[in-house]
Structure 1
Amino acid sequence: MAEAPETTMATVTHRRVRTNGISMHIAEKGEGPLVLLIHGFPEIWSTWMYQIDRLAEQGYHAVAPDMRGYGDSDCPRDLASYTVLHLVGDLIGLLDELKEQQALVVGHDWGAEVAWHLCLLRPDRVRALASLSVPFRPRSPTLKPLALMQRFGEGFYISQFQEPGRTERSFAKYDCLTVLKKFLLLNAPELLAAPPGVEIIDFLETPESLPPWIKEEELRYAAEQFEKSGFTGALNYYRAMDKNWELLAPWQGAKITVPTKFVTGDKDQGFQSFGTKDYIENGHFKRLVPDLDIVVIDGHHFIQLERAERVTDEILTFFANIRSSV
């Protein structure tokens, strides 16, 4: 395992657990009620370093896994092994291995998507959810996700990610550190779509300097993990979207009943695109997630990094209220 940034490595414990047929790497710290921290794309467990420290200080057992296909967790080669049922199953198995009936859950980006479906499929195992950046969306009764995304054109990043090997080849023109920097770029367009004939990774600019909320050594550590694992596992989450639509048909119209706080940045590309802002503000989101508190703050997509203190305060306040209400 590559050495993590020194400030965190000294206080965080690392181990592997068996869950759902794979070996999953987890980083953990603290004692108390379990908090699962589920990362997104293109991230690993270390995206939660600030939250791990604060949660542990406040009397929680913070556990941040490398999700299936990422970092030091197993990366199955078969695309069929990356459905949302597999990803939720990994977390249920992790809870069982940790001998915990329930967890408080925090998810960002794809981690939020997985966390929503953990709540949908197994609400009995989730005490409360803090979802960052990605709201719960209703399943279309007639159209698969990729059909819905055709309106954004062939340059849309999710569309480009679909062809096995295509994005891996385009990413390979750059070192992993540059790939990560490109996706962390603050002034990316509202819609992540490249012009015709251009790969999305070529379209995204490389920032000349890093924003103050991320350190070079932290990005280098994450980049070393992707150098080992590659990006195929991470990209397979996107490639399984249509299959997820098929598998989730039995839950058509179901609501999320778990107490939830949703935090997003007002400048997040996802908030500004796809009708998300209107969906959140017009009450439709809350009709699907009745026990919901929505917080929109100044920030962009990687909100748990950019606004680490504010986001963590929101999470801690929410979880404290959940604990006191029992």
Structure 2
Amino acid sequence: MTEIRSRHLDVNGIRIHVTEAGSGPLVLLLHGFPETAYSYRHQLTALAAAGFHAVAPDQRGYPHTEQPPSVGDYTIHHLIGDAVGLINALGAPDAVTVGHDWGSPVAWGVAQARPDLVRGVVSLSVPFGSRQPHEPLDRIRAAYGDNFYQLYFQEPGVAERELERDPGTAFRKVFYAYSGDAPEIGDLICDENGWTGPLTDPVKLPGWLTEQDIAVYAEAFTGHGFTGALNWYRNITRNWELTAAWQGLLIDRPAMFLGGDRDPVVNWFDPAALRPIMAATVTNLTSYTLLEGAGHWIQQERAAETNAALIEFVSSVS
């Protein structure tokens, strides 16, 4: 059985916890919200068995890694800098950067800012979105109203109180509601009880998710809290301001996109038009797949198919 190892690395003035397996060319696996490196548990061993050094950090502000105190410590430049710092700290000449959810903008950003360090870039669930000329939260409010979850996350302390009251129930609701197993595609709109208020607590978990998995996530955030993770959202406007020089910048590294056709993020866009839209800005999009019936948590929901696609792509650029 492939051993999964754990350690801390000093990167950019903070201690970042990483889980890793295997040896060989580096594959850096960047998780999203509200997850941890545990979300890549199936990919670590599969990539290691295929001859790669798979490394999944708990990113800045998340459990097991340091949580800088200021909201301004979580800009996209900090997050990209951490990924670059990890590549260097691991002694690798380059990496395939893999991102899911919030990890995807980081993976794409490393490919934009430091293409010399990127053999290829993989996005799970979140397509590349080129910088737009208008402030993003204003566009979100105009499109979805004031109760969209990203707007709800802006006020410090509000979402924390909701999620920290009962992390286990919050994780059960969120993982089920935005998976392919939910009866309807989630709309990401909050109600008077917050983000998880309108979500169903499933009587039975889907087959890809166990009570032990829920416990791992809930125990990780208990005590640590959600503030560091939520601070990523509180920099959306600041990130837009900081990346003005990147407007129109293309991504020319080999790229792969894998999503689910029942993912609410994919369905923000017109799924039928998504590939040509991405191809206009990701000029070497060599792999694009939407898995039928899959939701947002694709590397957990559909581990075997995700692993096969990842190994094929990573092998092709390594």
Mapping of residues 100-139 of structure 1, within 5 Å:
100-139=92-131
Aligned to 2:291: 297
271, 278, 298: which one aligns with 1:277: 271
Match in the other structure for 1:183 = 174
- The answer for the alignment partner of 1:211 in structure 2 is 206
* Cα deviation 1:19-38 (Å, max 9, x = unaligned): 01110000011111111110
Distance between the aligned counterparts of 1:305 and 1:266, measured in 2?
A: 15
Matches within 5 A, 1:1-326: 11-141=3-133, 143-151=134-142, 152-173=144-165, 175-185=166-176, 186=179, 187=182, 189-195=185-191, 197-273=192-268, 275-281=269-275, 283-292=276-285, 293-298=287-292, 299-323=294-318
Gaps of 5+ in 1: 1-6
Report the TM-score when normalising by structure 1. 0.92
SS across alignment from 2:62: coil
- CA deviations over 1:223-260 (Å, ceiling 9, x no partner): 11111321111111111010000000011100011100
Distance between the aligned counterparts of 1:228 and 1:65, measured in 2?
Answer: 19
1:3 maps to what in 2?
none
**Deviation, structure 1 residue 121:** 1.0
How far is 1:189 from its partner?
Answer: 4.2
TM-score relative to the length of structure 2: 0.94
Deviations 1:141-182 (A, max 9, x none): 1x1111111121121111100111111122233x21111111
* Paired residue secondary structure (1:16): strand
Q: What secondary structure, in the 3-state scheme, does the structure 1 residue paired with 2:241 have?
A: helix
Q: Partner amino acid for 1:312?
A: N
Q: Distance in 2 between matches of 1:190 and 1:73?
A: 30
* Ranges in structure 2 where 5+ consecutive residues have no aligned partner: none
Any conservation in 2 of the 1:37–1:105 contact (CA below 8 Å)? Answer: yes
Letter paired with 2:138: A
CA contact (8 A) 1:12 1:27 kept: yes
Q: Which residue in 2 is equivalent to 1:4?
A: none
Task: Tell me which moved more, 180-189 or 204-213.
Answer: 180-189
1: distance between equivalents of 2:85 and 2:123? 21
1:271 is matched by which residue type in structure 2?
Answer: V
